[in-house]
A and B are shown apart, each in its own frame.
Chain A
Amino acid sequence: MITHHLSEEFLVEYANGSLPTPEALVVGSHLGTCSECRDSVETFENISAVLMEDGDVEAVTPDALEAVLAMIDGPVEEEAAPLIEFDRATLEVIPPALRSYLGGSLSALAWKRTGRGIEEVGLVKQDDVRISLLRIRAGQKVPSHTHRGDEFTLVLSGGYTDGDAHFGKGDVSLADSDKDHAPVADSDGPCLCLTVRNGAAKLTGPIGRFLNPVLRG
């Protein structure tokens, strides 16, 4: 039972294709576990489809149909390189949307100790975006910290408590900067999380967010 979802605007932008890749990864991974949000996205797609059906038309080029039929007769574009063979334990825990970010099965990844009882694998490190897997030992308290930007945390297995709230498999939290938090992993097993940090959102609130890109040139 998922209790922590993302706010609806993330789902709207995921459905209409305008959400940037790091956030879309969080939403796509959450959708793997959350049928409620999947249902919302589906409804949004239904709306787009109805608007398209009833919407404007734009003349296609005169030979468009012929061109498409020729492509259909042509060679099938090769699918991307063969996927990595993940072991069963990995497939059961890593949502389909996240798999292309992993270089191998969970046990084969280069886990680095980043704190007491905490291990991390960096998946993406580029400019302001950091995408990692985090493994926290059972019962481990993560030192209190704040973030420079937004941080999304999605529980892949196990769970943790942060203040009064408990987060289990599929639950997602969005902490923006200044929010002080100190999660504690459940005592019955390790907690595996996906974290997506976006340091870019240093200024928060509607005005800050709007100005931010301009400030960064």
Chain B
Amino acid sequence: MQTLIDQAATKTRAFAAVPVAAVQIAEPKGFYPKMKSKPGVKSGGKAPGKNADMKHMADCIRAIAESKDRKAFEDLFRFYAPRLKAVLIKNGAGLQEAEEVMQEAMVLVWRKAEQFDPGKASPSTWIYTIARNRRIDLIRREKRAPLDPEDPFFQNISAEPDGEQVYTETERAKIIREYLKILPEEQLLLVQKAFYEEMTHQAIAAELDMPLGTVKSRLRIAMRRLREQLSGADL
């Protein structure tokens, strides 16, 4: 408990521009803050095999769950490991750190494979959230777990979305991908900073030398339109 409190407080302060050394991570170069200097990211560039076959990825996860299929795991690893590592580095992790967190996340992919529900998440979203939760847990001991519909908390309220999702997970990913293509440059940049580089609004505002209110409102506009499309407003 005390540790949690300490870190909660530390993180609140580390929100600042002061480079507080990363908490509880082997390499002292922290994920936060990412206000200014980024470690020299030598990005490997765009990957081959873009728009990977998500059905195959889902099959791989199921094969791990059902028969501990190592070949299936290798397929997942080849596609996701380099991408997760790239995201971690964008987020400010050092090379060593990114490698470690990526490896731990991939171990969790193996161990949690039985929990994967293709009706609820695409393979990429599922794996992304596993890696993100692992990172959050490492930097500030904050445990996040998927909601359990059987939990007594949901006795009188639903853990499920109100309505049926209009689109399947695959269709949702497609809509998002298409939407990002037509997004005005200025909004796309903010979307990338927020959802790919995982920056705070404040950090984005500082990096782009833009008023915080502008960052917030542009992102809000971009999200509103996307949500409309995902909710089938155009149907």
Q: How does the 8 Å CB contact mask read for B65-90 relative to A, with 1 for contact and 0 for none?
A: 00000100110010001111111011
Cβ of B8 and Cβ of A20 under 8 Å apart?
yes
Interface check B37, CB cutoff 8 A: no
Cβ of B8 and Cβ of A49 under 8 Å apart?
no
Interface check A46, CB cutoff 8 A: yes
**Contact residue range for chain B?**
35 or more
Q: How does the 8 Å CB contact mask read for A193-212 relative to B, with 1 for contact and 0 for none?
A: 00000101000001001101
Chain A residues near B195 (CB, 8 Å)? 12, 15-16, 44, 47-48, 51
Main SS class of interface, A: helix
Known: A38-B161, A50-B176, A61-B99. A56 touches B43 (CB 8 A): yes
Interface check A165, CB cutoff 8 A: no
Cβ of B158 and Cβ of A35 under 8 Å apart?
yes
A7 to B144, CA, bound (A): 21
Cβ of B4 and Cβ of A100 under 8 Å apart?
yes
A192 to B235, CA, bound (A): 42
Chain B residues near A124 (CB, 8 Å)? 4-5, 8
Q: How does the 8 Å CB contact mask read for A83-121 relative to B, with 1 for contact and 0 for none?
A: 000001001111111001101000000000000000000
A53 to B52, CA, bound (A): 8
Minimum CB–CB distance for A178 against chain B, Å: 19
Interface check B187, CB cutoff 8 A: no
Interface check A173, CB cutoff 8 A: no
Chain A residues near B12 (CB, 8 Å)? 20-22, 127-129, 198, 200
Chain B residues near A48 (CB, 8 Å)? 87, 125, 128, 132, 195-196, 198
Cβ of A12 and Cβ of B153 under 8 Å apart?
no
**Can you list 19 A-B contacts with CB-CB less than 8 angstroms, sorted by A residue number?**
A9-B201, A12-B195, A18-B203, A46-B172, A47-B191, A48-B128, A50-B173, A51-B196, A53-B173, A56-B83, A61-B99, A65-B74, A72-B110, A94-B153, A103-B1, A126-B9, A128-B9, A214-B17, A216-B16
Residue ranges of B at the interface with A (Cβ–Cβ < 8 Å): 1, 4-9, 11-18, 32, 42-47, 50-52, 70, 73-74, 77, 81-87, 89-90, 98-99, 102-104, 106-107, 110-111, 121-122, 124-125, 127-129, 132, 135-136, 140, 142-145, 147-148, 151-153, 155-158, 160-162, 172-173, 176-177, 180, 191-192, 194-196, 198-203, 205-206, 211-213, 216, 219-220, 223, 226-227, 230
The 6 closest A-B pairs by CB, nearest first: A213-B16, A57-B82, A21-B8, A49-B124, A91-B152, A57-B47
